[in-house]
Amino acid sequence: MLSRHQERQARERSEAGSLWQENGLVLATSVGTPFESHNLRRDFRKVTRAAEIGERWVPKELRTSFVSLMSHSGVPVEEIARLAGHSSSRTTETIYRRELRPVITTGAEVMDQIFR
């Protein structure tokens, strides 16, 4: 995939000619500049629409899903923080990690114990 991406970016660089601004970015606009956040969100919505999962997703949800799935699979939070590029595991735990099992399950289990 990365090789195909590099080939596509080389074509874009060639097509842009003197408009191309080399910034050494892996992900760049068609003229080599950094993505503006609103353009990234617009392009992301195109992908989610094409995947038929709706248009209300935002890129941050990819990181939240990654962190939550890794945590659910038993990966230590310190390792997840490193993989996600967080400077501390606190960010990983408080902002991105979500419990995949619905929290209501715990309440239901306690209520079952009380009313037995």
Tell me the mean pLDDT in the region 29-35.
90
Question: Do 82 and 94 form a contact (C-beta atoms < 8 A)?
Answer: no
84-112 pLDDT, tens digit each: 999 989 988 888 887 766 556 777 788 88
pLDDT value, residue 7: 92
Domain ranges of the chain: 2-50, 54-116
35-75 pLDDT, tens digit each: 888 888 888 899 999 999 888 888 888 888 889 888 888 89
Question: Do 30 and 16 form a contact (C-beta atoms < 8 A)?
Answer: yes
The DSSP code for 100 is S
pLDDT value, residue 56: 85
Mean pLDDT of the chain: 87
As a whole number of angstroms, the distance between CA 71 and CA 50 comes to 29
- CB-based contacts of 105: which residues, under 8 Å, 6+ apart? none
